[in-house]
Amino acid sequence: MASPRPETLEIPVVITAVPVEQRRQAVVRGPARRRRLALGILALSLLAGVTAPLLVLAHEPEPLAAGVLHEVSMVTALVAVSLLVATFLLPSRLRSMSRSLGIERLLRSHRALAVAGTGLAVLHAVVAVARSDKGVALLDLRTAPPRVWAASVSTLALVAIVGLALSRRRRRPRYEGWRLVHVLLANIAVLGAALHVIWLNDLTREPLPRFWFAVLSMIVLVVNGHRWIRRPWAARRAPYEVEEVRRETRSAVTLVLRAVGHPGTRFRPGQFAFLKIGSSPYVFEEHPFSIASSAVQPERKELTIKAIGDFSEVVAGLRPGRTVHLDAGHGGFTTDGLTSEGFVLIAGGVGVTPMLSIIRTLADRGDRRHVVLVVAGRVADDLLHLADREHLEERLNLRVFELLTEPPLDWEGEVGRFREAVLEAVLPATRSRKRFDYFLCGPAPMVDAVNTLLTDRGVDRRRVHTELFDVV
């Protein structure tokens, strides 16, 4: 997957003596509760991050003694730091968070908090200049003390992060370079802010503000340790070996991996994994790909990868026996936890890979709910599901629709882009469509268009699950 994508999962053990419907209910209810709980925890955490600094300042002795600008400066600084720590926390590979919230909601929150925190940091700088006797000369780095240097570097790093992120879709940089710059700037911003607070010795003079910064600092240290030490260490203990590199089309290969010395990292159908190539999982370069294989066999994983960059070309050149490492089980794009009567899966191009995992898992579990798979592409090479379609149709209550914009001469499927008529042909009957769940994965324009069409036809937004290829 070129997306998100985007942490190990406890999948309930299915006992074969239990009827299918009872098994399904046992799997379903826990994840739904966890999703609601995660949303509540996130909302309460953000509320605490904003209100706690205000409560801290309210207990300061004679809070208005230094003037209104001083208080505004304090408030903007404390709230900005709280929001930026939350921004730092969201994409930190906490699998329970990404599973419950979904990678898109998580990353949208990450971006919104980053913009809000950066705006408050800039406002803090403006107020600091306004209340200083030096005015703008306060920012003259030729004579500025270390605390001003730290604040300036931190603020510039934040502005650069937001600017590069907001312009990313237009610039379309290479994933490796963008990720490296993003991580470096984020850590520079956090370190600069911490040094500014320490050297200024203004926000931490009183016990309560000092305690709040200590808590935030501890969160950053724990999150960094989890992200850069604990997760690679777990991947090191559970290596995978390349079993096969299978050519699917002229532009796509499937990497078949086998667990070495362990039972495999469990995941839910539709989730994705971060792949690292080499003998050590502590290398920086890694890429997210959807898992295309069945979740019933966690010891064997398949990643179907389209050649769209240098890394995918490296993957295509791998040989059997090569050691790789996976950080698997990320994202909430999964049918697990749903009691719907069936599923409509709509994919654009390589967006079919998480759908393959979903239908293969349903087949292995003997799930006979209705499944409709719609695959849209430009040319026949984009239809990566064809190798398994006939076999899966025998084991599932499955219908498959294919759509190409540039079909070959012998093409018998639909021609053109995904449109209203195609959707009407694949949707369940009006009475039952509200009891189906809908999964959309592919380029943003296609996902947005189909999402709108579904909403216009009365489908509850809560039943529409999306995954975009360009959200990371």
pLDDT classification of 103: cutoffs 50, 70, 90: confident
To which H or E segment does residue 399 belong?
A: strand 397-404
Q: How far is CA 37 from CA 10, 42, 118, 200, 401, in A?
A: 17, 9, 28, 39, 37
59 or 332, greater pLDDT:
332
Per-residue pLDDT at 434? 83
Distance in angstroms (rounded) separating the CA atoms of residues 435 and 63 = 56
**442 backbone φψ class: left, alpha, beta (φ>0; ψ -120 to 50):** left
Placement of tokens 């449109």 in the chain: 419
Going by C-alpha positions, the residue among 258, 309, 264 that lies closest to residue 287 is 309
Mean pLDDT highest for which of 40-49, 97-106, 114-123, 125-134?
Answer: 114-123
Task: Give SS3 for 460.
Answer: coil
Output phi, psi for 164, to 5 deg: -65, -35
Other Cβ atoms within 10 Å of 273 Cβ, number: 30
Model confidence, pTM = 0.81
Please report, as a single letter, which amino acid is at residue 268.
R
Tokens of 154: 């931190």
> E strand or H helix at 298, and its extent?
none
73-92 residue pLDDT tens: 878 888 888 888 888 888 88
Kindly state the DSSP code that residue 5 receives in the 8-state scheme: -
Cα distance between residue 66 and residue 337, in whole Å: 55
DSSP letters, 44-60, are HHHHHHHHHHHHHHHTS
* CA angle in degrees (0–180, nearest 5) for 400-403-409: 115
Residue 10: the pLDDT is 29
Whether the per-residue pLDDT at 26 is higher than 60: the answer is no
- Give residue-wise pLDDT tens across range 127-170: 888 888 887 887 888 888 898 899 999 999 999 999 998 888 78
Contacts of 186 (CB under 8 A, 6+ apart): 88, 157, 161
pLDDT tens digits for range 184-213: 999 999 899 889 988 887 767 777 778 888
Contact (Cβ atoms closer than 8 angstroms) between residue 326 and residue 275: yes
Q: Please give the C-alpha separations between residue 420 and each of 274, 426, 438, in angstroms, as whole numbers.
A: 35, 10, 16
Confidence of residue 307 (pLDDT cuts 50, 70, 90): low
What is the predicted pLDDT for the residue at 92? 83
pLDDT for 388: 55
Q: Quick count: other Cβ atoms within 10 Å of Cβ 329?
A: 24
| Other beta carbons less than 10 A from residue 33's beta carbon | 12
CA dihedral 381, 468, 341, 457 (to 10 degrees): -100
- What value, to the nearest 5°, has the Cα angle with vertex 213 and ends 209 and 214? 115
Confidence bin at 2 (pLDDT 50/70/90)? very low
Pairing mode of beta strands 414-415, 397-404: parallel
pLDDT of residue 385: 62
Give the per-residue pLDDT at 56: 66
| Length of the chain as a residue count | 472
Identity at 138, one-letter amino acid code: L
**Residue with tokens 């700037």, as numbered in its chain:** 185
pLDDT(60) > 70: no
Of 358, 328, 235, 234, which Cα lies nearest the Cα of 9? 328
- Position 30 scores a pLDDT of 42
Least confident of 77-91, 224-238, 421-435: 421-435
Q: Does residue 23 carry a pLDDT above 50?
A: no
Q: What share of residues in the chain are helix, strand, coil (percent, to 5)?
A: 50, 15, 30
Residue 447: closest CA among 411, 418, 416, 408: 418
Q: Where are the alpha helices (DSSP H) in 59-202?
A: 68-89, 95-101, 103-130, 146-166, 168-171, 175-200
